[in-house]
Amino acid sequence: MALVGRSVPRPDGPAKVTGRARFVDDVTRPGTLVGATLRSTVARGRLRGIVKDPSFDWTGLTVVTAENVPANVVALIEEDQPVLASDDVRHAGEPLALVAGEDALRVQRALQHLRADVEPLPPVLTVADALQHTAQIYGSDNVFRTVRIAKGDAAAAIAACPVQLSGTYATPYQEHVYLEPQGVLAFWDEGGGAHVLSSCQCPYYIHKGVKRTFGLTDERVDVTQAVTGGGFGGKEEYPTILALHALLLARASGRPVKMVYDRKEDIEATTKRHPSTVTVTSGCDRDGTLRAVSIRIVLDGGAYVTLSPVVLSRGALHAAGAYRWEHVSIEAQAVATNTPPNGAFRGFGAPQTIWAIERHMDRIARTLRLDPLALREKNLLRVGDTTPTGQFLKESVGVARCVEEAKKASRWDAKRASLAAPASSGMFRLPPPGVFPARKARGIGASVYMHGAGFTGSGELAHRARIAVDLFADPETGKARFRVRGGSTDIGQGTETVFRQIAAEALWVSMDRVDFATPSTASVPDSGPTVASRTVMVVGGVVEAAARALFARIEGDRQAKGGSFEGAARRLLAAHGIVTVEREYEPPPGLAWDDATYRGDAYPVYGWGCAIAEVEVDLDTFETQVLGLWSAHDVGKAIHPTNCKGQIEGGLLQAIGWALQENLVVRGGRVVNARLTDYVIPTILDAPRFTTLLVEDPYSRGPGGGAKGLGEIPMDGGAPAVAAAVEHATGIVCDRLPLLPEELYALSKETRR
């Protein structure tokens, strides 16, 4: 029976629904201490010292400062970020010192008796200040990186167009709010080996960071992933810092140390989605045929480089959207500010630029009085077209079908015509005194988008994902069993399920005979980080190749010596004890990318999508409720349809939250609403009814018959569809997120004019 394509019950499900699944805070070791962090309250300054209050009883407490850190750098793209600040303080919330002790309350008290002596300096808090050089905080120009993409001559082509339009679009921070906050348990063994149990996406990132900071060799560092309660990018790079902190305290105290952030600290200290400002200038014909576009992107990177250069790159590569342009010019910059470093968040720069291009498409449609989806359909990329980097799209471009199916399911044409179009006057007049039924307007809006699957450019080649599949004897029954080993983590998205499906299918065995090894750097090969919509498509492909090779080995033995498959497997086990096949990623032939010029195949293939939102806006309170969300996504091949839908609906709701309610307030470089009471994410009552359609236009190199990346793409399309629907309902054009009631109210007064 075919496993791929079936929504089998997820094997990690029973442990999760019974409370047996062990998250890091559910695990302890004898003698474990609790660790906590002293953080900067100023956005920029010079640290003169950490002073322990002599009147406080420090017995049994361990304090660690920068001078206890062997190599005080967090190994990531650049080594600009210290593990603990030693001299320069570059953002509020920056870790300055650590404390560990047996009792959590006493550790908290101790933090209050540690004084950071910081000489404040004038901070650079906005991108505008950074670019105007009010102070120099990074390099010579406060710019982490600039990316340029050019195709043809955009400026000249726009100037020659009969319709030229320009708009500026902005997006705010977004906090991940994985339900399980960040946490780690760390200890040292007697031989000086470091052990880390972490809620994380990328055990090998932590492995690299620990090796660097403590000067250890590969085999002396063991990083194991605990059951992880969501990540969405937030547990990509940050867990490395947390692991280093716990290891420092464990080394100084000689005890295991657990650090689990509470929600407030998690929101204040960890990474966020980069705020963005994007200006789009386009040229097109009067019939809506797109010709040329020029785009300028600025991201607020925060105080350290972290992953900003690659977030910027992905943002730039998605900025022209799912459309054909003959001429493109994109300039993108990630800028340093004295605010907590921003980092990976589902979509990785693309939601910001897709927001801009999709709002701009609505601007064109509005100006030319065209149906917004008809305008999009007219200009969609097809097989045979080239992208802004000159990538020739040779297969798996299912975007037209996505639009068609979402349109049909949502009854777009009928609703577009019949839903309340805004009255030209009187709509926003304040109601007379008294109690009246709510005045509400409905509207429908759409967005179309793509998302490059896998690492950008040569990234997959550089990482060369490795996976091992073992044949081993079941210790109880002696029967042949199989096991997939790799560093790819299941953070809720279903890696374990899908890898077991893919391997079982390739091995021609039932899924319950295939195990998924807990990702631990001591026992699994490095299949790369669990990011970039790459796990199923790229790593899953390696799982499939390794499992097929193992099958071929057993089947070869069977054909040579006869008997059953099980018999052959047992013969091999008797001869070798355990049989392991390891495979690594083989890049598709002919893929070419030039990092210097940003020309070539930016991604091996793209996922495509169309989201259509129907909203109801209360015309007195300006609250927006999303009533329905119809989407169609080209996933290549749905290996587990229920998981696919779960990913899409979850991603779309994160986008709806970003669009309508999530509003992180940062003042003086500090997050002031670091609680779920006032940083509000959607509840089940805020969530629309989803109609989730899967389109399968297979990718020739995708596993299971053509699967493509899917994790991030739903985050790209939700916000612009909601804004377009609000515009249809009310006539209010909002180009800046979030669409809070007060923002819509303010804009309504302009609209009335």
Partner 1 sequence: MNVLFFLNGRAATVDAPPAARLLDVLRGPLGLTGTKEGCGEGECGSCTVLLDGAPVNACLVLFGQVEGRSVTTVEGLGDPEHLSPLQEAFVKEGGSQCGACTPGFLLSAEALLSTIPQPGETDIREALAGNLCRCTGYQRIVEAVRAAAKERTSREPG
Could you list the residues that contact partner 1 (CB under 8 A)? 7, 9-10, 12-23, 25-26, 176-181, 227-230, 232, 262-263, 491-494, 642-643, 645-646, 648-654, 675-677, 681, 683-685, 687, 689-690, 692
Q: Supply the minimum distance, in Å, between the C-beta of residue 612 and partner 1.
A: 15
The nearer residue to partner 1, 17 or 574, going by C-beta atoms, is: 17
CB of 644 to partner 1, least distance (A): 10
Q: Which helix (H) or strand (E) holds 301?
A: strand 290-302
Write out the two tokens for 738: 């979030």
Q: Give the nearest distance from C-beta 687 to partner 1 in angstroms.
A: 4
Shortest distance (Å) from residue 176 CB to partner 1: 8
C-alpha 745/C-alpha 741 separation (Å) is 6
Nearer to partner 1, 22 or 561 (CB): 22
CB of 647 to partner 1, least distance (A): 8
CA–CA separation, 193 and 464 (whole Å): 27
In the bound state with partner 1, the residue whose beta carbon lies nearer, of 391 and 488, is: 488
Question: Is residue 17 helix, strand or coil?
Answer: helix
Nearer to partner 1, 40 or 493 (CB): 493
Whichever of 386 and 642 has its CB closer to partner 1, that residue is 642
| Cα gap 101→609, rounded to integer Å | 51
The whole-angstrom separation of Cα 415 and Cα 413 is 6
Q: Least distance from C-beta 629 to partner 1, angstroms? A: 9
CB of 455 or CB of 679, closer to partner 1: 679
- Integer distance in angstroms from the first to the last C-alpha of the chain? 65
Widest Cα–Cα separation across the chain: 91
How many Å is the Cα radius of gyration of the chain?
27
Nearer to partner 1, 25 or 623 (CB): 25
Minimum distance from residue 485 beta carbon to partner 1 (Å): 22
Rounded Cα distance, 536 and 487, in Å? 13
Helix, strand, coil percentages for the chain (3-state, nearest 5): 30, 25, 45
Q: Are 741 and 622 in contact (CB under 8 A)?
A: yes
Report the nearest approach of partner 1 to the CB of residue 320 (Å): 28
Q: Which is nearer to partner 1, 82 or 651 (CB)?
A: 651
Q: How many CB atoms lie within 10 A of CB 248?
A: 26
H runs (alpha helix) in 285-381: 308-318, 350-368, 372-379
User: Which residues are paired to 481 by β-bridges?
Assistant: 472
Rounded to whole angstroms, how far apart are CA atoms 383 and 380? 10
Quickly tell me which residue has 């003042």 as its tokens: 667
Separation CA 8–CA 280 (nearest Å): 45
The owner of tokens 């290996």 is: 639
Task: Pick the closest to residue 484 from 499, 498, 473 (CA basis).
Answer: 499
CB of 490 to partner 1, least distance (A): 9
Between 346 and 483, CB nearer to partner 1: 346
Cα-based distances in Å from 684 to 63, 97, 129: 43, 40, 40
User: Smallest distance from the beta carbon of 345 to partner 1, in angstroms?
Assistant: 12
**Shortest distance (Å) from residue 531 CB to partner 1:** 16
Angstrom distances, CA of residue 410 to CA of 2, 302, 448, 593, 714:
32, 40, 14, 39, 17
Closest distance to partner 1 from the beta carbon of 17 (Å): 4
Torsion over CA of 702, 705, 706 and 712, rounded to 10 degrees?
A: -80
What the block records as the tokens of 679 is 């940083």
Q: Based on CB atoms, which residue is closest to partner 1, 557 or 649?
A: 649
| Residue 44 vs 272, nearer CB to partner 1 | 272
Cα distance between residue 123 and residue 576, in whole Å: 63
Nearer to partner 1, 21 or 420 (CB): 21
